[in-house]
A and B are shown apart, each in its own frame.
Chain A
Amino acid sequence: VSQETVARPFQVILLKQSFSLKRYLCDTYDTSHRLLPAVGDPKRYAVLQWVHAAEATFALHSISVMYARWHQKSGDPKETEIGLSKNIQNDLDFLNAELEKSKGKFLFGDELTVADIQMHFSVAFILARELGTLGKRWERCEKFVKDCEATESYKKAVEKTGHSF
């Protein structure tokens, strides 16, 4: 940012609106890269792996069970769920093992990242609705959910929004 930019602040606003809408809250407001490491830092891509896995793997696999429960009109929905559960159980086994490797409460130690924020909902949802879990437990995943929900920022978000499963 040069003095030219300081002299004409409205240009800054216009420029911002032409930015790619990706990387929004972190790129716009987390300039110290606390929640998402900077471009080029290898840790950034390790964190983004979980941001994408939360939807493209964990949510995709588990929501298919929910839809089967809602919409399957013939055949045995329980048999369908058993078939679909294989992916979900693999996902949770993997997450459980990765959390065991962490040196702290969260995926990358004791410091929260967007990986935890994105993964928390997917895992909490699977465990709360017992989507494909078939009675099996993943203790490290359960502890991860509790640790996420014990953060001050999560508690404030629930208090303000009234979020509930």
Chain B
Amino acid sequence: MLMSTLPHQSSINKRWSIQVDLGTSRWTLAYVYFVTRLVHLQNKPPTLTDLESLIAATMAPQITLYFLQASRCIRTAWQLHEQGLDYDFKFSPRVNGLAPPEFRKEAGGLGKFPILIDNGVTLTESGNIAE
């Protein structure tokens, strides 16, 4: 845990300090940034409604898993659940034992699954994704 004051050192936000848990850095940083901007722009602390809107926006899954039936994709899905990570997924059954061409084209790359997209970063190979 780290005690950190907000970035803009005006007299008003000097009074506001936030405990930053670095283990949850992504949303914490988003929260810090949001609060900072709000204090800076409105010269007042955020309301509960402001914070609820922020939480709703940041809780939406940013991870998308391309999932081909009867494949290694279950490894990645299992790990996502084991780590408690929410995700969207795009599913395709096999056609004549293979991934349909349109699904391969949509996913891109070599057209092998799983493919995981997180925050705009595309990852392939289940072992690579796992690590």
Query: Residues of A at under 8 Å CB distance from B?
Result: 1, 3, 5-9, 12-13, 16-17, 21-32, 35-36, 48, 51-52, 54-55, 70, 112, 114, 117-118, 120-121, 151-154, 156-158, 160-165
Contact = CB atoms under 8 A, between A and B. Distances in A.
B51 interface: no
Interface of B: 2, 4-5, 7, 20, 22-23, 25, 29-30, 32-33, 67, 69-70, 72-83, 85, 89, 91, 97, 116, 118-121, 123, 126-131
A67 B69 CA distance: 18
Given A21-B123, A54-B127, A163 B85 contact: no
Contacts of B20: 6
Contact of B22 (A1, A25, A163, A165): A1
A153 B67 CA distance: 17
B74 A157 contact: yes
A138 to B, nearest CB: 20
A14 to B, nearest CB: 11
A9 B83 contact: no
A52 B72 CA distance: 14
Contact of B130 (A26, A32, A151, A153): A26
17 contacts: A1-B22, A3-B7, A6-B20, A7-B7, A12-B25, A17-B120, A24-B129, A25-B79, A25-B83, A25-B130, A51-B131, A117-B75, A120-B75, A153-B78, A160-B77, A161-B74, A161-B91
Contacts of A30: 83
B121 to A, nearest CB: 6
Nearest to B34: A9
Contacts of A163: 67, 69-70, 73-74, 77
Contacts of B2: 1
